[in-house]
Structure 1
Amino acid sequence: MLDRHLHILGIRGIPAQHGGFETFAEKLSLFLVSQGWKVTVYCQEEGDHLGKESVWQGIRRIHIPIDRQGAAGTVIFDWKVSLLAGSESGLFLTLGYNTAIFNIIQRIKGQTNIINMDGIEWRRDKWGAIAKTWFWLNERAGCWIGNHLVADHPKIKAHLATRVKDNKITMIPYGGDKVSDADAALLEPYGVEAGNFSVIIARPEPENSFLEMVTAFSRVHRNHKLVVLGNFSPTNNPFHRQVMDAASDEVVFPGAIYEAPVVQALRYHSRFYLHGHRVGGTNPSLVEAMGAGCAVIAHDNHFNQWVAGPDAAYFKDESACAVLFDRLLTDDTAVLRMKEASKTRFTERFTWEKILREYEALLTQWYPNK
């Protein structure tokens, strides 16, 4: 049997603590180890133990200390990882293109590197001109430097196909876990009852339609709660203050919640999961909501339409969102239909088992010196 070794770049490490790519890397690493692969993951940490190694559930981890915080620390980390990985052998998978220019090292070394190109980061409203230029340049660099590209959504693949040939891109979306039950007692600290609240789980940024959704919900008294998860800093962030000022007393802001059982309970027992993202490919939070059988109300764009399918409810603006609340909060038949549609769509396309096997097939195809 071929001795297969995958190196995963582009994330801050495992076990997952930071976001969707870390969760995916953890899932993929554990799956590949179970299939006989060797897997190495590079982990960003504080300290002075450069090159120190450890093993976590059969996965080799190389720890790289970084003494800077935020985006600058991530850029330095990615540079160090590219240098360190340059001396390794096997196959390389880079998650994200934000520092793809550094992967020129893999190209120079003759290493085979597959790059997951994530979303169209340079289109996001939150970035200034310098950051947008950096992301745009790195998207171009990733398209050229990567031996093969992964797009997590058909529209992302279509976008990348304007940069490179279509046959250089494979579309594999993000995955999620099926949630068949959740402890309703975990809802008590938030003052909500199963079925009588809806939920938003996202970064509180303008491009995620927070203001539109909260304002639409708050137009009238609804005898229903809206739980808005996320790190809000109203003192320091004018947009956060604007959202909170627009909220009625039926809107709950519990902050960011990282305990998976609590988040699962909030999804599973909600009446609606609201998804306001306007930019991106296959969004992990939306997939996870569908895995919990949520009825989805989403911003109307081609990214969300493909993921959630035709039976979700869509809005273009605040007024359209308010109309959906007015109609659907009292329509139990529609809610049940939407929940069943989410379950069906999730099972058809987004289970981790399906996603991970598609990745292994692609990695096997591109493994060097087969």
Structure 2
Amino acid sequence: MEYRISILGIRGIPAKHGGFETFAEKLSLFLVAKGWQVTVYCQENGEGDRWESNWQGVRRIHIPVSRDGAAGTVIFDLKATRHALSQQGLFLTLGYNTAIFNLMQRIKGQTNVINMDGIEWRRDKWGFIAKTWFWLNERAGCWVGNHLVADHPKIKEHLATRVSADKITMIPYGGDQVESADIDLLTPYGIEPHQYSIIIARPEPENSFLEMVRAFSKTRRNHKLVVLGNFTPQSNSFHRQVMEAASDEVIFPGAIYEASIVQALRFFSRFYLHGHRVGGTNPSLVEGLGAGCAVIAHDNHFNRWVAGPGAAYFKDESACAAAFDSLLADDAAMARMKAASLARFHERFTWPQVLREYEELLTRWYPSK
């Protein structure tokens, strides 16, 4: 049998935007190597007719959208879903943010597996209208999807309050092990290996940026804290608050998208700080484990399952400060935590393991007609 799959819900491949795009790239190439015919919908800026291209054996359908931001993404998802109605085979939708559009596929009788991502409507950054939209689409995704994927056991538990647990398969996000990196890439930032710790996340309140920066800045550390993220203090009061709370040992290099630089900064760090309070299996945390980072994470059931018992955890600012106080000078603890991160990574989060589980699920749900 010739297997065909169309992937919706992302901006496109190769990955340039985030975790779902990276996953779609990995899965597409994996399935192509297995003999699948893979189609991925790609969002483009501008106007005009859609066009097609081939990228490493993957058929890409490019759909131009003239609007920016969330509105443009909604328009793109609508156009992609409408085009998908003419396609054959299986469908994989990554995210439920516009799951109401997938109702068209359900009505037509297409088989659609939906990765339900995190609990988006719980995020602090969204206003009432956005939260309502996400809440409604989460409900819609649970109903119109033929089968659901949860990337974390707690996400599966949450979805099981909406639908039968038999309709949900838990498969986490994956990552690559980083065994080496270019030490010279640290030079522009004035830092030395293991003489700095790092935060890599979107600078949102729910990611504990203010608590972590305040905790670090309470006292002189003789250590650097590198905070990656797109900070705009002129227009964002929270960003301004974080930067004003920082001591002169905190470095804000901005958002860095060059993978080799991010990889080096993560690989040579003393500790990787992960403040996410909402979500499932977070890609950045998995990548930290794969790089063998010693992890200090916000204490919640999402992070504890991913990072495991070998990480250090904090509930609030004072606990985070205490972690810095006790761990920064403890080489033995850092070494134990790094080893624990790699062990946890190999236990559950390598790409070959994750992609094999997806292939098994998708094959099982492939339509018989």
TM-score of the aligned structures, taking structure 1 as reference length: 0.99
Partner of 1:185: 184
Partner of 1:230: 229
1:305 is displaced (CA, Å) by: 0.1
- Paired amino acid for 2:30: F
1:125-274 maps to which residues of 2 (within 5 A)?
A: 125-274=124-273
SS at match of 2:149: strand
Deviations 1:7-36 (A, max 9, x none): 000001111111100000000000000000
Query: 2: distance between equivalents of 1:46 and 1:179?
Result: 33
Unaligned segments of structure 1, at least 5 residues: none
Partner of 2:23: 24
User: Is 1:328 the counterpart of 2:332 in the alignment?
Assistant: no
SS at match of 1:53: strand
1:48 is displaced (CA, Å) by: 3.9
Deviations 1:44-89 (A, max 9, x none): 1124442311000000001101000000000000000110000111
Query: 2: distance between equivalents of 1:50 and 1:4?
Result: 28
Query: 2: distance between equivalents of 1:13 and 1:264?
Result: 22
1:82-97 maps to which residues of 2 (within 5 A)?
A: 82-97=81-96
- Paired amino acid for 1:360: E
Deviations 1:147-198 (A, max 9, x none): 0000000000000000000000000000000000111110000111001000
Partner of 1:57: 56
Deviations 1:77-121 (A, max 9, x none): 000011000011100000000000000011011000000000000
User: Is 1:290 the counterpart of 2:318 in the alignment?
Assistant: no
Instruction: Report which stretch shifted further, 319-328 or 49-58.
Output: 49-58
SS at match of 1:7: strand
- Paired amino acid for 1:22: E
Q: Is the 8 A contact 2:40 2:58 kept in 1?
A: yes
Partner of 2:73: 74
- Paired amino acid for 1:244: M
Q: Is the 8 A contact 1:224 1:250 kept in 2?
A: yes
Deviations 1:119-147 (A, max 9, x none): 00000000000000000000000000000
1:311 is displaced (CA, Å) by: 1.1
1:321 is displaced (CA, Å) by: 0.2
Size of the aligned set, in residue pairs, is 369
Where do 4+ consecutive residues of structure 1 move more than 4 Å? none
Q: Is the 8 A contact 2:147 2:168 kept in 1?
A: yes
Query: 2: distance between equivalents of 1:6 and 1:202?
Result: 31
Query: 1: distance between equivalents of 2:249 and 2:37?
Result: 51
Deviations 1:272-311 (A, max 9, x none): 0000000000000000010000000000000000000011
SS at match of 1:119: coil
Query: 2: distance between equivalents of 1:137 and 1:48?
Result: 30
SS at match of 1:262: helix
Query: 1: distance between equivalents of 2:213 and 2:357?
Result: 38
Closer/same/farther in 2, CA of residues 49 and 36 from structure 1, 3 Å limit: farther
Query: 2: distance between equivalents of 1:265 and 1:49?
Result: 40
Q: Is the 8 A contact 1:16 1:23 kept in 2?
A: yes
- Paired amino acid for 2:361: L
Unaligned segments of structure 2, at least 5 residues: none
Closer/same/farther in 2, CA of residues 253 and 337 from structure 1, 3 Å limit: same
Partner of 1:107: 106
Query: 1: distance between equivalents of 2:196 and 2:119?
Result: 32
Deviations 1:257-286 (A, max 9, x none): 001110010111000000000000000000
Query: 2: distance between equivalents of 1:50 and 1:222?
Result: 56
Q: Is the 8 A contact 1:53 1:63 kept in 2?
A: yes
Q: Is the 8 A contact 1:49 1:63 kept in 2?
A: no
Query: 1: distance between equivalents of 2:50 and 2:65?
Result: 12
1:335 is displaced (CA, Å) by: 0.5
Partner of 1:122: 121
SS at match of 2:16: coil
Partner of 1:366: 365
Partner of 2:42: 43
Query: 1: distance between equivalents of 2:47 and 2:37?
Result: 26
TM-score of the aligned structures, taking structure 2 as reference length: 0.99
Fraction of identical pairs, as percent: 77
Deviations 1:207-232 (A, max 9, x none): 00000000000000100000000000
